[in-house]
Structure 1
Amino acid sequence: MKFKAPLLYFFLFTLVSICTLQAQDVKAKALLDEVTSKVKSYNNIAIDFKYSLQNVKENINQESKGNVLLQNNNYVLNFMGITKIFDGKKVYTIVPEDEEISISNFDDKDENAITPSKMLTFFNKGYKYSWDILQNVRGRKIQYIKLVPISSKDQRKEVLLGIDVQTKNIYNVIETGKNGTKTTIVVNSFKTNQPVSKNQFTFVKSKYPNYYINNID
């Protein structure tokens, strides 16, 4: 069988393109594995972050700051005036404005349940990934990995995960929804192995004497 020159060139170009994409996917997977390994190596992680939500069509532009302390699956999250505490069994949602506390059980068998700890390794399931752009952010090299949800029911079009090339820690996460909404989380401070008190992740009811307790489960 003889190939005409144009057809041969097209075949070779396609073959090279496929091999290049496969090599980039391997690079992306290797970097994601490094990030996961790094996260698991820390005793705990303390993060200060900036959150923004934008939708030009709906004229929505919101910004807020928050912080979270993670240790294993336990966490204390402060965000938008609300505190969430997870002690490994129950989630306590504390809303000072309403003087109300909601207590619910956490189902660790629910793969769709999102916790702050999963946010650092969420990319390990349910996504196709590819190598994206490299940016210089104030002297830091940030390599982006594009994540595309596998499920057609997912309301997100894509997720860009920015990773610090030197530290292998997550710098930012940019989610673009199918409705045009863009949600961005930027890590302002990433500290590890901080001194943590024994009762750091324990809910103490006596601290909230006048609060209404709502037991959801």
Structure 2
Amino acid sequence: MKKIIAFIGIALFAITANAQSSERAKNYLLEVTKKINGYENMSIEFSFNQKDDKNNSKNFDGKGKLDLKKDLYNLTFMGVQKIYDGKKIYTISEEDEEVTVSKYDAKGVDGILPSQMLTFFNKGYTFQWDILQNVNGKKIQYIKLIPTDKKSVIKEVYLGVDSSTKNIYNKIQVNKDGSKSTLTVNSFKTNQSMSKNHFTFTQSLYPNYYINNID
């Protein structure tokens, strides 16, 4: 009987500890969301790494730059530039000398806006408080995210947050097939001076480009 009582006591303690961990992590991410939503604009330089030990052809490294003003964005990654002006997405390929113009579709390939990716964790995940690491002199607090959708290809996500600024430092996504991707913020600047045309496409800058209107 004593062993059973002790076991129940340990189980209840574990449940309570997990609940406290989840609540602590949730409150921490609310601070992160509030901080992000408070910026007028953001300018982010990042690196992206994808690794799949089962299929090396999927492995790659890349760097990019993203400027954000609410939902508007100007993204350069892997030789392609994307501009979203609030209505249409302009995909500019310097190599092909082509600009593809499409309407924004929330259910389409480009449906997830970069601004939403900075607060993706607010829906579809449970939270757990994880480790605190010292990375290049920064104290990075990790929050473990577990998808609530059991059919998700994602096993878990580790979101690293700079504990001093409450800005996102990196995102590590581990998939059920064993592949992993890491996005790391190398430079994070806020409330920068940006021209009013920074989030609009100026066709005169691409006189010899083929304009492909698909919508």
Instruction: Summarize the alignment of residues 121-140 of structure 1 with structure 2, pairs less than 5 Å apart.
Output: 121-140=119-138
Structure 2: which amino acid aligns with 1:45?
Answer: M
The whole-number CA distance in structure 2 between the counterparts of 1:19 and 1:181 is 33
Q: Which residue of structure 1 lines up, in the alignment, with residue 60 of structure 2?
A: 62
The whole-number CA distance in structure 1 between the counterparts of 2:160 and 2:35 is 15
Q: Deviations over 1:162-200 (max 9, x none)?
A: 011110000000111222221111000000000011111
Question: SS of the counterpart of 1:26?
Answer: helix
Question: SS of the counterpart of 1:102?
Answer: strand
Q: How many residues are matched? A: 213
Query: What's the CA shift for 1:140?
Result: 1.0
Give ranges in structure 2 of 5+ residues lacking alignment.
Answer: none
Select the residue among 36, 48, 54 that pairs with 2:45.
48
Which stretch of structure 1 is more off in the superposition, 39-48 or 176-185?
Answer: 176-185
Instruction: Summarize the alignment of residues 49-198 of structure 1 with structure 2, pairs less than 5 Å apart.
Output: 49-60=46-57, 61-108=59-106, 113-198=111-196
CA contact (8 A) 2:40 2:191 kept: yes
The whole-number CA distance in structure 1 between the counterparts of 2:150 and 2:91 is 31
Percent identity among equivalent residues? 53
The whole-number CA distance in structure 2 between the counterparts of 1:152 and 1:177 is 12
Query: What's the CA shift for 1:151?
Result: 2.0
Structure 1: which amino acid aligns with 2:37?
Answer: K
Structure 1: which amino acid aligns with 2:154?
Answer: R
The whole-number CA distance in structure 2 between the counterparts of 1:135 and 1:43 is 29
Q: Does 1:26 align with 2:23?
A: yes
Q: Deviations over 1:55-107 (max 9, x none)?
A: 11212431111010000110000000000000011111111111111111113
The whole-number CA distance in structure 2 between the counterparts of 1:154 and 1:114 is 16
Structure 1: which amino acid aligns with 2:36?
Answer: V
Q: Deviations over 1:33-68 (max 9, x none)?
A: 000000011110000001111111212431111010
Query: What's the CA shift for 1:113?
Result: 2.1
Question: SS of the counterpart of 2:114?
Answer: coil
The whole-number CA distance in structure 2 between the counterparts of 1:113 and 1:175 is 20
Query: What's the CA shift for 1:108?
Result: 4.7
Question: SS of the counterpart of 1:196?
Answer: coil
The whole-number CA distance in structure 1 between the counterparts of 2:164 and 2:184 is 17
The whole-number CA distance in structure 2 between the counterparts of 1:55 and 1:176 is 10
RMSD, aligned CA = 1.4
Q: Does 1:7 align with 2:8?
A: no
TM-score (norm 1): 0.94
CA contact (8 A) 2:106 2:112 kept: no
Give ranges in structure 1 of 5+ residues lacking alignment.
Answer: none
Q: Does 1:38 align with 2:38?
A: no
Query: What's the CA shift for 1:215?
Result: 1.6
Which stretch of structure 1 is more off in the superposition, 174-183 or 32-41?
Answer: 174-183
Which stretch of structure 1 is more off in the superposition, 19-28 or 206-215?
Answer: 206-215
The whole-number CA distance in structure 2 between the counterparts of 1:130 and 1:214 is 46
Query: What's the CA shift for 1:109?
Result: 7.5
